Amino acid sequence: MRLEELINNYYNNLNENDLYIAKHILNHKDECINLGINDLAKRCNVSRTTIFRFAKKLGFKGYSEFKFNLKWEEEQSNQEENDYIEQFYTDVSETLKLMKEKDFTDICELIYSSERIFVYGTGTAQMAVAQELNRTFLAANKYFNIIEGFREFQIITPRIIKGDLVIIVSLSGDTTSLQSCINELSIKGIDTISITKLSNNLLSRMTTHNLYITTSRWNCIGIESYGFSMFFILIDVLFRQYIRYQERKKSEE
Average pLDDT for residues 213-237, to the nearest whole number? 80
Give me the percent of the chain exceeding a pLDDT of 70.
93
Cross-strand bridge partners of residue 213: 197
Domains of the chain, first to last: 3-78 (1.10.10.10), 95-252 (3.40.50.10490)
SS (H, E, C) the chain: CCHHHHHHHCHHHCCHHHHHHHHHHHHCHHHHCCCCHHHHHHHHCCCHHHHHHHHHHCCCCCHHHHHHHHHHHHHHHHCCCCCHHHHHHHHHHHHHHHHHHCCCHHHHHHHHHCCCEEEEECCHHHHHHHHHHHHHHHHHCCCEEEECCHHHHHHHHHHCCECEEEEEECCCCCCHHHHHHHHHHHHCCCEEEEEEECCCCHHHHHCCEEEEECCCEEEECCEEEECCHHHHHHHHHHHHHHHHHHHHHHHHC
pLDDT in tens, 167-209: 999 998 988 889 999 999 999 999 999 999 988 888 999 999 9
- For the cut 80, the answer to whether the pLDDT of residue 77 exceeds it is no
Q: Report the distance separating Cα 92 and Cα 234, nearest Å.
A: 10
- What is the average per-residue pLDDT within 205-222? 82
pLDDT band at 56 (very low <50, low <70, confident <90, very high): very high
Average pLDDT, the chain: 89
pLDDT at position 81, please?
45
The answer to whether residue 12 scores a pLDDT higher than 90 is no
**What pLDDT does residue 219 have?**
61
pLDDT at 244 over 90: yes
Average pLDDT over residues 90-108: 93
